[in-house]
Each structure stands twice: as C-alpha cells, then as structure tokens.
C-alpha cells in the first residue's frame, strides 16, 4: 500500500530492499486486522454470487493491495468462498466454474512484480483466475464503467490523498496530526479533507461498480466525534520524538511544525454523513472492533514474543511485554511512515527518530494508566451499490 506525503509527493512504504524494516516484513498486525473480518467477507462473497444468479463471471478488486504476504489475502478469501459455494451447489445441474477476474490496485510505485511472483503458489492460480494490476490512486477512476462486483480494501483508507491545508494561524505546532488536546481547527481541517477524499472515492466506485455490487472496507477509525488521547497516542509520541530531535539540533523545529501526516481515523458519524451525501451506496454493515498486537502471541509474529506469567499480581504483568509491544509497534509504524518522514526530515534523522520513538512507546506501555494498552479501533464498513440513485 502507498500513500501521499504532507507535501503531496507520492512515496511508497518501505520496500523489499529495506530488508528487516520493509513493509512486507512488518505487516503481521495488518494480517490480524484482516482476520477479524474474514468470515464476514467470505460469507458476503458467496451470498453475492448466489444473489446475482451464479453468473458466468465475477469481478473482484482489492484497492491498496500492497506487497508482501498480505497482497493476495483479501482476493484469495473471496475466490475461495465463491468456489466453495459453487462446489456446495449439489442440487443444481452441473455448471462450469465462474470465470473470476481479479484486479489488484495500488499506486504506481508499488512492487507489483513481487506480488505476481506470489501467484503460482496462491489459490488464485489453482482457481484459474485472470489476475491483473491496475496502478493508480483509488481517489480517482481506475476501472471501466460498471465492471466490478466485489471490492475489498483493508488498512488503506485511513490514508488521505494529501495532508489537509492549514491556515497560518492554525499551524499544528509541536504535533504532526490530530491531537486530543489540539486546536479544534486542526480536527476540522482533517475532517474536511477526509470528507472530500471519501466522497471522491465513493463517486469513483459508484461509476465502476455494478448495481448490487459490494464494497467491503476495513480501516482505522474511532468511536467518538472528538478523538481521545489513546486514539492519538501513536502520532503524539512520534511528534514528541521529533521534538526531542529538534531540541538536540538533529532536525529543524520549524519542519516539525510544518509536517502533518496524511491520515485520518473517522468516527461513525463522519462515515454516515459522507455515504448519505454521495448517495450511490446503502450501508449494510458498520461495525467497530478493536485489535491488539497481543493477538500475535497466539499466532506467532516475526519476533519471539514474551511468555506471560500468570503468577504475577495484576498490574505487574510480564516485564518484557511492554518492550516487545514497543518494538513491534515501532517497526510497523516505521515500515509505513518512514518514506514520507525521510522526504521531509532527511535520511540522517531516521535511526535516531525511531530509537526515541520505541523508547517513548515502551514508557507508554509501562505507564500504570496505559499498561500494555496498544489496541487500535478499526471500522468494517460494507456498502451496497443501489440499483437506482435518486
């Protein structure tokens, strides 16, 4: 997945050439998020196939597919569900398997070659899917008119097309994003940018999606109209690390003040308002859920997580868990945002910045009030294309 920097220059997440710090090697948490919606997504893919009368072909798209082990995950789930439904149709006369068209989208700098190298060992190859890459921003038109049936996007739509413009008197000083204690004008600017971007996203998909087609969108959200301190802590601590760098003379403080991350986590009211205004889709599901990196303790992550000690008193927890959470979180955030930070602050600042960031995260996870609290709120939004728009 790719994103735009605060200066609107398009940059990629850390690519495969970055080794241990690449997005491909630091996307376990995004896989956990996708796993929460897996059953619902599969059920909806199978139900849509049946509702459309078991058509001879079905078009499936992933917007913001990225690269690495998750790149084919969402479309493979949909394909598996449709084929399972076809095989379960015992009572009907034998019919050929549907021809499945799979469209993979991300920005042009995405490593689509690496994605295609995954195909021979994927369920898509076994199913005979026709797979193609469609580079471009999903805030613009990508596909032919009325060509899509089932569209998924996971861990992508919280990134905006650009950072919101800020009036000089509302410069977001000492912060790089919305903050719970920050000026209302900053939140208003971010909300307005999200509104404009999401309207554009829906208008484009309305043109490209057939009637009764589905959009299944999972991305970071928040529960309340005003963000809480915990909603903002990842960006607040990153800003604190940058200000520490500025105090040490390692980055220019004015560049910290001028940087705003192109990222917004909407609340349900934000989403409902945009969907209603655009008017082409009906909301079938809007479900908020929390995920934590502690889920990786059961499934296993890239690093070896600590073993919890149930004999310790409540609040004393395993002393290694905050350190592990901080390391995992810092690695994920670095893989995602380091390219845009390099563009703004320079290569030389990166190692020191993320070292400070990891230490601030560890302090947060050790604090009594936020002990091991790394949960992130996501929204699972399912939209159905209306048969007629008035």
According to the model, what pLDDT value does residue 11 have?
46
Nearest-angstrom CA–CA distance, 60 and 101: 6
Instruction: Report pLDDT for 294.
Output: 84
The pair of structure tokens assigned to 98 is 């549907």
- In this prediction, residue 94 carries a pLDDT of 56
CA distance 354 to 251: 13
- Enumerate domains of the chain plus CATH numbers: 2-225+261-299+373-385 (3.40.50.150)
Please, what are the averages of pLDDT over each run of 10 residues along the chain (390 residues)?
A: 40 54 67 94 97 96 92 96 86 73 94 93 93 97 98 96 82 90 92 98 98 97 97 97 96 92 97 98 97 75 47 54 94 90 91 97 97 96 84
For residue 4, what pLDDT is reported?
38
CA distances from 198 to 134, 232, 245 (A): 20, 21, 35
The string of DSSP codes covering 239-302 is HHHHHHHHHTTSS-HHHHHH---SB----HHHHHHHHHHH-SEEEEEEEEEEE-GGGHHHH--S
| Residue in this structure with the two tokens 């008197």, named with its chain if needed | 169
């Amino acid at each position: 997945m790719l994103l735009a920097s605060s200066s609107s220059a398009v940059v990629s997440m850390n690519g495969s050439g970055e080794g241990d710090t690449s997005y491909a090697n630091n996307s376990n948490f995004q896989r956990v998020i996708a796993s929460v919606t897996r059953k619902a997504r599969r059920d909806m893919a199978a139900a849509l196939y049946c509702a459309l009368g078991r058509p001879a072909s079905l078009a499936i798209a992933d917007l913001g597919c990225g690269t690495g082990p998750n790149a084919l995950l969402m479309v493979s789930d949909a394909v598996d569900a449709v084929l399972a439904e076809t095989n379960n149709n015992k009572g009907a006369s034998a019919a050929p398997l549907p021809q499945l068209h799979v469209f993979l989208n991300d920005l042009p700098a995405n490593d689509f070659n690496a994605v295609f190298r995954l195909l021979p060992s994927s369920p898509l190859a076994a199913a005979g899917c026709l797979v193609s890459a469609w580079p471009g921003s999903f805030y613009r038109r990508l596909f032919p008119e009325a060509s899509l049936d089932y569209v998924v996007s996971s861990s992508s739509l919280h990134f905006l097309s650009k950072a919101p413009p800020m009036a000089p008197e509302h410069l977001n000083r000492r912060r790089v994003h919305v903050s719970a204690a920050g000026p209302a004008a900053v939140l208003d600017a971010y909300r307005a940018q999200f509104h404009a971007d999401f309207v554009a996203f829906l208008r484009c998909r309305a043109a490209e999606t057939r009637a009764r087609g589905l959009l299944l969108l999972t991305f970071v959200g928040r529960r309340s109209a005003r963000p809480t301190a915990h909603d903002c802590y990842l960006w607040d601590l990153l800003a604190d690390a940058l200000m520490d760098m500025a105090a040490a003379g390692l980055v220019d403080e004015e560049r910290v003040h001028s940087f705003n991350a192109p990222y917004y986590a909407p609340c349900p009211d934000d989403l409902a308002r945009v969907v209603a205004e655009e008017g082409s889709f009906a909301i079938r599901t809007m479900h908020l859920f929390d995920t934590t990196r502690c889920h990786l303790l059961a499934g296993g992550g890239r690093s070896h997580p600590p073993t919890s000690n149930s004999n310790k008193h409540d609040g004393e927890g395993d002393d290694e868990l905050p350190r592990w959470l901080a390391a995992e979180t810092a690695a994920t955030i670095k893989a995602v945002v380091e390219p845009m930070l390099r563009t703004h602050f320079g290569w030389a600042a990166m190692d020191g910045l993320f070292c400070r960031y990891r230490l601030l995260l560890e302090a947060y996870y050790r604090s009594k009030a936020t002990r091991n609290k790394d949960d992130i709120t996501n929204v699972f939004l399912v939209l159905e294309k209306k048969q007629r728009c008035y």
